Amino acid sequence: MLIIEFEKLMYENPEQDLKDLWLKLRIKYINANENDELNNEWATIPHYLSHPGYYQNYFRANLIKAHIYKYLKGKLGLLTENAQTATFLGQNLFKYGKSIEEDDLIKLFTGEYLSAQAVCENLV
């Protein structure tokens, strides 16, 4: 969350002191010491300069993972202990490859549109 919030706040107000913002968020999310030296540690993460907005891809991937896992667990039980898991995935998900857009594929596979519900259920 630190990186996602930093990215959001950084792009909302790029004129602010980014060293100060980074420290405040480190204190908030990882209990950093408020007396830590202000630095440009955030700038060592190349995504900010070369691929702005890239961390949203990680977040989306986590949504997809949780959504599909919840569906599979309900359908197959313990996935690693079910000999049919690989076959089921091959016949019902992987066979489409890139021929269907992600959102449509998730709806086709799980019967539901992608949502944050599965992620939220894991937070409680």
Q: Has this prediction a pTM greater than 0.75?
A: no
pLDDT digits (tens, 9 = 90+) for 57-73: 888 898 999 999 999 99
Confidence check: pLDDT of 124 > 70? no
**pLDDT above 70: percentage of residues in the chain:** 96
Q: Is the pLDDT of residue 114 over 70?
A: yes
Q: 3-state secondary structure string, 49-72?
A: HHCCCCHHHHHHHHHHHHHHHHHH
CB distance 16 to 25 below 8 Å: no
